[in-house]
Chains A and B, each alone.
Chain A
Amino acid sequence: MDAPRKRTWANRVRAGKQRIKALRRPIYVVALSLLAAGFFAFTFTINRRFEEKRRNLSTYWFQEGQDELERGAPQNAIPYLRTALLYSHQNPRYLFSLARALAAANRVPEARSYLLNLLEEEPGSGPINLELARLAARDNDPNQARRHFNGAIYGAWETDPVSRRQQVRQELISFLIGANMKTQAHGELMSYTAEMPNTPNAQLWVARTFTKLGDDRNALDFYIAASRLNYRDVTAMLGAGWAAFRLGRYREALEYFKGASALHDDPSTSQMIDLMSSVIKLNPFDSSISATERRHRLVLAMGIADKRLKSCADSHDVDLDTVAGDPLQLAHSQWAYLNRQIRGTYNNSALVPLLAPVASLVTSIEQKSGCGAPTAEDQAMLRIYQGGGELQR
């Protein structure tokens, strides 16, 4: 009875072993999965701890670098920022700071290399474009500079984007003026006026920039706007006075100079007030004056020009009564001819055509060199007649 029973047990054991063998692959897979999970958890833990250490180190070194940058020592900041990057390889903030430090330390190619790399990852970044624009401006590369300035203007800014874009446009305009690209600068300035803040400073900056670009008409408008926003702004008043003066709007100029003088009495402003008064008094181009007054002003102008001509002739030892081909003698004969014409004319329709030749003659006489220091009257004459011979409204 025992033998069949033993066989049964042996069979059972053998069958069990076979079953275990058949299951060994799934068991291996489960065991490997558990082992992998354990290893993963271990790696996760040490990685997290080490990441924290790296983060702390990178923050520390970055702060050191920033401190050096703020102290104005970019050379010292560079190794600190590089060390910060060692612990935070791709941190764009650190990379940007390093690029700025390199740029500040005059290591332009290195700075540009980092910035271009950053730009590749963030092509619409305002700050990166601005830094690149500054580097290009430093390298006198107006095309690249304009490209990046525009990238910065239309790019993304994290904080206060409107004001940052306005600042960038201001910087671009200044760069274009510096690079003697006045037409482009004028275009940018016009764009800027469309979005500029309505503050006295901004209006004043625009007015001054228009002045630099020779656009006195716009400059006057913005000086006036600035002085309206701040009634006590002497600079705006003076700027308006000068702009109006250059535009030939002498009465307006006189008012602005008087306004400036009332706010802050200054000898040069008083001098301008005197000059304006003289100019207004001597200006024959004013369309509102009568024929008698115009004739009188022209006669006065011819008298001042004659004095200047004689002073020149004395200085150059030229006899004005003879005609030997000297430019002063020729001017004198022209003067004599025009003088006769003016003195024999009494109506406006005949006097107005004389304005242009008188302006030309007076300007040429007043501009002659080596004739001694010009008097206030001479300066006024030059201001009045230099503009040409048109009537002013």
Chain B
Amino acid sequence: MIDTTDIPLNSSPSIEDVSVPETPAQGERFFLLLAIFIGIFSGLAVVCFRITIEFLRIELLGPSLSPPFPRILLAPALTGLVVALLVMFVFPRVRGSGVNQTKSALYIYDGYIPFRTAIGKFICSALAIGSGQSLGPEDPSLQVGASIASALGRRLELTRERLRLIAPVGAAAGLAAAFNSPISAILFVIEEVIGRWTAGLLGAVVLSAVSSVVVARYFLGSEPLFRIPSVQFISPSELLAYAALGIVGAFASVVFARAIQVLRPRMKDLPRWTQLFQPALAGLMIGAIGLAGRPEVMGAGYEFMDQAMHDQFPWKIMAILAGLKILATVLSFVSGTPGGMFAPTLFIGAMLGGAVGGVERLFFPHLTGSIGTYALVGIGVLFAAFLRAPMTSVFMVLEVSGNYSIILPVILANTLAYLISRNLQPIPIFDLLSQQDGLGLPSMEEQREERILRVEDAMRPVDVPVVDSQLSADEALKLAKEQGASEILVHDPPFGWSTVTVKVLRDAVKQGPDELTIASLLPEPHMPPIHPDHSLEVALRYISQWPFLPVTHRADTRRVVGLIATSDIMKAFSK
């Protein structure tokens, strides 16, 4: 939920009035330099965040891998109470994962994210994850990075346009440091936050992500979050098994998303005082799951993903863990506890992948490779199906595994999972959450799949006379009269195309000499070149100056393949 009180709508915190005139190149250079600083600060913040989470885990749950009783029950419950108090009375904007908050900064608040949000997100998420709530540190890291970027941008008096773009730069830095994978972070921010490839922003996003990963690796080491097993892909027939994993993953992701979709608004609709106890209750229930013998579902769970990848659990246990993790994450998330969904998604994917791999190995031992490979592909499957970031999901698996031999299973399983999940759950989880919060954020999935209308979709056949500019005005007039046209299209090499009206021709014929050519009658400037593959937006930019525009062939600009007028464009849009 995003609390929008006291956030200035379309505020302009920049002080452009005092800015010294600078060249665009200078501004661009400074923005790139700032991106590096954002990366460094975000990287350092994420390192501190990770240390705090682990420190709290040791202090709250104890140093053992399996927390002892009564800590296992009390730590998440009591910390949940503290987190609820902080969220309700000190940091009201830190609920949820942080991805939508960053999108809001980009699309609604001109890049404005209060620095207090970063502090609140840091403290509350660290407490929640450290005490065993089933949430992850990646999305909060993304928001912390975005908040740092926003604060720096405001402080350094960036222009409004740059300030709006700076939050994704910080988000990429935060996510890259948390994931220790710069490519995946960059792709995710482009795929899920920005929604498009923007050349101006890409450089800054890449610089910030890389610098943050360098900082994070300096402190935390270059190892991935979990040790990647030896990856095997035995034969093409095994693709069938990965396809099955894609299908199972899609259904699991739909269950996960539906549970959040149904329960989150109901929990929010409960009286406000209950929100004080919701995280505590969720923590108590998660603690109970842990006490019942499955403490693996508590916290981010990377160490258990590692075990799953190394064939450390029987398939039945992995299937149970996947189910329980969905339950635990839903409980934590719908209770309003701040924390991310990336790590739980990866956990569920790893367990589900391992379980599917285990079952397949049981029944078709000749078919399957290592369980670790299935767990790794499972991570990508859930990422594609639940978070609906198909491209990121593929690159993430490749980046963390460092092995391109599994690209085929990953692409197949992820694509299947993505398509099935999209059919069964048309609204992606982040769009769903923003809708529930009453925000009109653009849907990145819709944007990606939006059909771009092109000139060829709107143009009509050539229904006016087409003549050369060297033709005499008299002959041109005759031609126009013969065809009943009020205007003629004129090719005037080497300048291009233009038009002349019958009225102008008639006046010229009446007053001018007999040998007068149309070239002398053409208005300036000439028409811009429009081709069938141009988007209608491009055509719209020019159309107001002319009654129609000729659509020419790209390979031969003297050849007119159609005409386009404002009315044609409107007709195409209204279809």
Contacts and interface: CB of A to CB of B under 8 A. Distances in A.
B156 interface: yes
Nearest to B48: A43
A53 B51 CA distance: 11
A44 B215 CA distance: 11
A46 B48 contact: yes
A86 B48 contact: no
Interface string A84-118: 01110110000000000000000001101110110
B65 A83 contact: yes
Nearest to A36: B40
Contact of B310 (A35, A46, A83, A117): A117
Interface string A29-64: 100100110011011101100100110010001000
B311 A120 contact: no
A25 interface: yes
Interface stretch (A16-24, A255-263, A302-310): A16-24
A110 B66 contact: no
Given A39-B44, A113-B312, A117-B227, A86 B303 contact: yes
B445 to A, nearest CB: 35
Contacts of A28: 156
A181 B65 CA distance: 45
A61 B18 CA distance: 61
Contact of B311 (A18, A35, A61, A113): A113
A79 B62 CA distance: 14
Contacts of B34: 32
Interface size, A (range)? 35 or more
Contacts of A110: 310-312
Contacts of B229: 113, 116-117
B55 interface: yes
A24 B37 contact: no
Contact of A90 (B33, B48, B223): B223
- The winner among A32, A42, A116 for most chain B CB atoms within 10 A is A32
Contacts of A87: 63
A162 to B, nearest CB: 31
Interface of B, helix, strand, loop or mixed by DSSP: helix
A35 B37 CA distance: 10
B55 A79 contact: no
A82 interface: yes
Contacts of B41: 35-36, 39
A52 to B, nearest CB: 12
A36 B37 contact: yes
B47 interface: yes
B431 interface: no
A269 to B, nearest CB: 55
Contacts of A82: 65, 303, 307
A391 B568 CA distance: 116
B20 A114 contact: no
Contact of A47 (B19, B65, B219): B219
B64 interface: yes
B44 A57 contact: no
B483 interface: no
Given A86-B65, A90-B223, A47 B51 contact: yes
Contacts of A18: 20
B546 interface: no
Contacts of A32: 34, 37, 152
A120 B230 contact: yes
A47 to B, nearest CB: 5
Interface string B241-256: 0000000000000000
Given A43-B219, A47-B51, A90 B63 contact: no
A87 B230 CA distance: 23
B18 A21 contact: yes
B47 A47 contact: yes
A43 B47 contact: yes
Nearest to A114: B310
A360 B371 CA distance: 63
A53 B52 CA distance: 13
28 contacts: A21-B20, A24-B157, A25-B30, A32-B34, A32-B152, A36-B41, A40-B44, A43-B44, A43-B47, A46-B51, A47-B51, A50-B55, A53-B58, A79-B64, A79-B65, A79-B66, A82-B303, A85-B303, A86-B65, A89-B223, A90-B227, A112-B311, A113-B229, A113-B310, A113-B311, A113-B371, A117-B310, A120-B230
Question: Which 7 residue pairs are nearest across A and B when measured between Cβ atoms?
Answer: A113-B311, A83-B65, A21-B20, A113-B310, A32-B37, A43-B44, A39-B44
Given A47-B219, A83-B64, A117-B229, 17 more contacts: A22-B20, A32-B34, A35-B41, A36-B40, A36-B44, A40-B40, A43-B44, A43-B219, A46-B48, A50-B51, A54-B54, A79-B65, A83-B63, A83-B65, A87-B63, A90-B223, A117-B310
